[in-house]
Every structure is written in structure tokens, then in C-alpha cells.
Amino acid sequence: MYHSVGCTLSNELLINSTQKGERIALLQDKRLLEYHVETPDQSFTVGDIYLGTVRKLVAGLNAAFVDVGFEKDAFLHYLDLGPNINSLNKLTKDVISKRTNSGKLNNFKMEPEIEKLGKIDKVLSKNQPILVQIVKEPISTKGPRLSCDISIAGRYIVLVPFSNSVNLSKKITDKQERNRLQRLMSSIKPANFGVIIRTVATGKDVDELNKDLQDCLDKWENGIKALRDAKPRDRVIGEMNRASSIIRDMLNESFDSITVDSKEVYDDIKAYIHNIAPDKENILKLHTGKNKLFEQFGMEKQIKGLFGRSVSLPNGGYLIIEHTEALHVIDVNSGNKSNSEEDQEATALSVNLEAAKEVARQLRLRDMGGIIVVDFIDMKKAENKRVLFDTMRDEMKGDRSKYTILPLSKFGLLQITRQRVRPEMNIVTRETCPTCGGTGTIQASILVSDVIENNLDYMLSKQNERGITVVLHPFLHSYFTKGIMSRQVKWFFQYKTWVKLIKDSSLGVTDFKFHNQYGEEIEIVPGN
């Protein structure tokens, strides 16, 4: 058995292979802590690097929309370009035009850095090929979020091309160790490559760090070779699958066991562990029992019980978890616990402490991101509030996402922000009406014609689009085309261009789509 120093908790990883892909469960003391589903066709994973094409520049947002092959164009803000975007674009151009076929940057002439607060149209142009990295997976109605500040993650380091700096994780606090790592990496890294040293590099010798650096450089070099013959929308460098990346990031916390029920996945992971930590190979097991893997470890029941609207607490209390567009709200209830006056404060504290543990677990489990507000049971004593806040902080320490926790407000509300880079994990237990989204109401149907006309006016007058087609519900189609001087004819006289209208009965009454002259869907910005 392998235990991390000072940690008595057991970490187990279960990987169940199904027809739809891999189900990955991370357990701590037999309790489900993280749950991921990886489908075979899953693309646009955080860390993937694509050859994209700049579709449009939006000066008002100081951003570009880039086509990487997703149904919606991906979003790239000026601040995510990185200071050395010109150098990256130069290399991309040279590789595509076959002027160079190497990713080595020793003799590469770096371009000047861009202004910190410049404008995107000064750096990028429409239809330009561009190398981009996914920093946020497509979530809800949004396409992927991109960055041009490319980085390649290894086990101990992160390689940053076109930079020369050596940075260390803030969690490495020992001054002597910081200086050692700084000196060591500065001496072995190649020119025009920067390095970020991860926390797990603490105490590692030069051979281990150099091997990790070479692996990252090989990955970059292979990506550049792939770029030579790449077509727009192609993935040039793929992030490893979810199971391997969990192992890469967490093997140092030492799993007690990794159990897999597919021989193929077993062989893949074995080869990977052999490569990065041969001494840990013996913790990998192949499940061959009659019972299904998840069933044997009691996972199915845990999954069903943990993803509902209501989540039970061990002491009789329960959580109600609600999701809105703006934030997630978690309400803590004491349930059937004693509510007599004299021990009310003690009851509230014990339920709240249990709830804090479960909330921290739920955030990781569902991968909830954005703003989370937790409504704890009211407590009068400032000391108890402090204990609750400290407990919440301690429970969140194991979370690998970036987060911020604020102390309890006067109303007993705890606010948390948590970085969200992939869609929230949601096990569907009920179906939601596709038109009303479960609210039981839809936008006032009388207003939809105004919304269409406003968008139309914006595209034809401000953006000078031509050859527009609007796809809409038959009711709306009739409204815009009725009579000799119909709305459609009036548009023709007003904008000097014919707007084509197409009926689509699969759309809801208030739904519509705009297509440009090439048949591509036009993104509708709310509020236009």
C-alpha cells in the first residue's frame, strides 16, 4: 500500500469501460469524491491544441471568434492571446508554408511582445490560421474558450513555448528548495522555452525533472510535425485522456489502488505508470470478478443518491441544490434533528459542519463552477461561525480547481467562486421540457417578432450582411409573409436586399435561427 506523507486517507481510482466510453470514479475512504464520464468521440478537452481559423473580430468585446470545428465558434479574448502571440503566429505560418519543420526555438528570432492593453484587430485578421489551446470546454450554449498562451503539462513541470521565464508554484514555500529548483530548471531548459514548476517537483532530482522536460518537448515537437500537414479544425496536440491526466496529477498523493475492468485500458495505464513511476505499477489491478466493478464497490447506489436535487447528510440533515443561470444555490436543512431551544446552537453547528464536508464534496463531484452560495443554518455565536468557515476551508484544500471562499455574511450565507473549465457533471433523473427549460413559461411570444427585426436591422445596417436566411416556426413565417405589402417585402425596400424565410416546424414558437449567405449559422448576441 502507498500512502502519502501525513495522509491516512485511502485514495482509490475505479475505471469502468462501457459501450459509451469510460466511467471514472475517484474514491476517498470508499466515498465517491470525483466522477467523470469520458466518451470516445470527446473532443475540445481542456489542454487540446487546435489549428483554428479566425472567423470574426469583435472590437466591442476586444475578442475574436475562432472556428475549431465546434458547432459554435470558440471565443478568444485579447487578454488570452499571450504576450508572444506574434512569435506563435510566425512559427505557425512558417510550419504551414513548410519553411520550417521543427519546433526547436534555439535559433528562432522572437517577435516583439504585444501591448498589454492593445486592440485585437491590430494583432489578428479575418480568416487567419491560428494555433489555439482549449482552456474551457463548451458549456451550455457557449462554445469553447481559447488561449494562445500555449502550455504543455507534464508531471512535474508545465512547458511554455516562446517564454524564457522559470516560475514556481506558490505552494512550494521552502526558500532553499525554491532556489534549488529555480537554478536547476534554468540550467537545463532550452532557449525560448519557459517553465512552470509544479508543487509535486519538490525534492525531485535533476534526472526526473529532465526526463519530464524532454517528454514535454517531444510532445511539442510532434505537434509541430502534425501542424505541417494539418487542415483547419484539426487537433494538433491532444491532452491525454481523463484517467491518465488524473493519474498524472494525483499519483503523488498516492493511490492505494487503481482498479480497471478492461484489459485494453489496463495495458494503456500500465504502460503510462511504467513510464512515469515504475515503482507504483503494483497498485494497478484488473477486475475479473463476476460482479460488475461499480456494483462491487457500491458505486451505482452512491451515484444515484448523490446527484439528485436533495442530498442526505449522515446526521439526519439534508442539502437542497438548485442551479440557476447566474449561480448555484445550496440550502442546508436540519431535517428531523432536535430543535429544542437549549441545544439549538449546538444542533445548528453540528449540521452545518456535516453540510460543509458534503458541500465541498458536491462541488468536486458535480464539477460545479461559477458562483456558489450556501445558506447555512443560522448561528448566533461568532466563534461557531469561525469554526464553520475554517472547516469549509480545510475541506476544500483537496480541490484541484481554483477557488475563493469568503467568510459567512451577516445573513449566514457563504459565498464561493470556483473555476469552471468543463461542463458540470449532471446525472439526469428527470426530463425537462425543451421549450420552457422546466420553468413552465416561455418568452412572451408577441415579442419574438421584434427580437427578430432588431437582429435583422443590426446585421443588415451595422454589419452589412447580405443574403441572410431566417429559419423560424410556421406561425412566425405566416406573420412575416402575409399580405401584398408583407413585413418581408417592407424589409426589401428598407434594406435593398431580399431576406429569405424558411419554415421549420421542429422549432419552438419563440425559436429562430439566422444563416449567412454561405449557409453558416450566425451567432445571436442577446440584447440585439
CB 394 within 8 A of CB 403: no
Q: Does 122 lie in the same domain as 209?
A: yes
Q: Does 60 lie in the same domain as 208?
A: yes
Residue 248 cell numbers, joined: 498524472
* DSSP H or E segment with residue 388: helix 382-396
Torsion region of 370: left, alpha or beta (phi above 0 gives left; psi -120 to 50 gives alpha) = left
Instruction: Give the whole-angstrom CA distance, residue 351 versus residue 336.
Output: 11
Task: Give the residues across from 27 on adjacent strands.
Answer: 12, 32
Query: What is the predicted pLDDT for the residue at 425?
Result: 60
* DSSP H or E segment with residue 23: strand 21-28
Closest listed residue to residue 256, CA positions, set 204, 300, 203, 297: 297
Structure letter (DSSP) for residue 68: S
Q: Does 54 lie in the same domain as 38?
A: no
The CATH number of whichever domain residue 71 belongs to comes to 2.40.50.140
At 362 the three-state DSSP class reads helix
CA distances from 360 to 364, 401, 431, 435 (A): 7, 12, 27, 33
Following CA atoms 306, 293, 421, 143 in sequence, which dihedral angle do they give, to the nearest 10 degrees? -100
Q: Where does 334-452 show beta strands of DSSP type E?
A: 370-375, 403-405, 413-418
Query: What is the predicted pLDDT for the residue at 323?
Result: 87
Q: Does 232 lie in the same domain as 97?
A: yes
Q: Does 125 lie in the same domain as 248?
A: no
Is 1 inside any structural domain?
no
The structural domain count of the chain equals: 4
Helix residue ranges per DSSP H, 65-205:
85-96, 175-188
What range does the domain containing 366 cover? 307-418
Q: Does 187 lie in the same domain as 66?
A: yes
Q: Does 60 lie in the same domain as 109?
A: yes
> Which residue type does 211 have?
K
Tens digit of pLDDT at every position of the chain (528 positions): 333 333 456 788 888 887 777 888 888 888 888 888 777 666 677 888 999 999 999 999 999 999 998 888 999 999 999 999 999 999 999 888 888 877 788 888 888 999 988 999 999 999 999 999 998 888 777 788 999 999 998 888 999 999 888 999 888 888 899 999 999 998 998 888 999 998 888 888 888 899 889 989 999 998 998 888 888 988 888 766 666 766 766 665 567 888 988 888 888 888 878 777 777 788 888 888 767 788 778 787 777 777 778 888 887 788 999 988 788 999 998 876 555 545 788 888 889 999 999 999 888 888 888 899 999 998 888 899 999 999 999 988 878 788 899 999 888 899 999 987 666 665 544 445 656 666 666 666 667 888 888 888 888 888 888 888 998 888 888 989 988 889 899 999 888 889 999 887 667 788 888 888 888 888 776 554
> What crossing angle do the helices spanning 487-495 and 448-457 adopt, rounded to 10°?
20
Q: Does 384 lie in the same domain as 314?
A: yes
CB 66 within 8 A of CB 233: no
Q: Does 509 lie in the same domain as 394?
A: no
This prediction has a pTM of: 0.62
Please give the distance of CA 362 from its chain centroid, rounded to a whole number.
17
Please give the distance of CA 247 from its chain centroid, rounded to a whole number.
18
Instruction: Give the whole-angstrom CA distance, residue 193 versus residue 98.
Output: 22
Q: Does 292 lie in the same domain as 348?
A: no
Q: Does 18 lie in the same domain as 115?
A: no
Is 526 inside any structural domain?
no
Instruction: Give the whole-angstrom CA distance, residue 478 versus residue 482.
Output: 6
> Among all chains, which residue has been given the C-alpha cell 521543427?
102
